Amino acid sequence: MLSGWISVSKKDNSRLIGEEKINESHPIFVRKVLEKTRSLSKAKLEIRDFNIAFGGKKADGLYQLIKHLKNSNIPIDAIGFQCHLNTNINYNYDEMYENIKRFQDIGVDVYITELDVGMNLWGGEGKPRRKVSDVIKNENDWKNYFEKQNKIYYNVIKTARLAGVKLISDWGFRDDVPYGNWRKDQKAWMLNKDYSKKQAYYEVLKALYETLEK
């Protein structure tokens, strides 16, 4: 049974800002895609994007878009936060919680999608992408990396569950995969290559257990 459509998975190019812009013109293709998809299926319709989980200008723009769609009676049921996260960033989980809540308050479900925790290997404007070996020099570097990774997995899952998120999915499940995932050599997931459980796996279980509805 089909439970949902990912109707839109690209950035909002409307460049609208401010509360007064909510009911002005937004990209017409978004409305057309949602209306056409609803005519074909009663499954939930989702818009998702990356770099929006913790708020910021991009999240604000998407919030305006969805609020506009809701105010215009355009079918939209959910927003997906693509969470390709990096261990070098100190995330603000209070901001994540508030961001989830504001989307829920305008009538859409919030999903955590494409969750992984890896490295920021961007080399800078006009420079080649760095390699893992440029960041990780020895076993102690790996140890520190995994400690940060564990905390991020735990905090993201716990924050999402406390905010009422019902659907959480990852972007892979074992490290050193032989296929072409862009993070295949970053050990970004919860299982080792041989499918044995990493500490991140247990951190996710801990977060889920701590947020069980009693």
The CATH number for 101's domain is 3.20.20.80
Number of domains composing the chain: 1
- pLDDT for 75 equals 94
pLDDT tens for residues 44-86? 999 999 999 999 999 999 999 999 899 989 999 999 999 999 9
DSSP per residue over 71-97, as a string? HTT----EEEEEEEEETTS---HHHHH
Give the domain range for residue 59.
4-210
Q: What is the pTM of this model?
A: 0.85
Q: Are 204 and 168 in contact (CB under 8 A)?
A: no
CA-closest candidate to residue 53, choices 16, 13, 102: 102
Residue 128, number of CB atoms within 10 A of its CB: 9
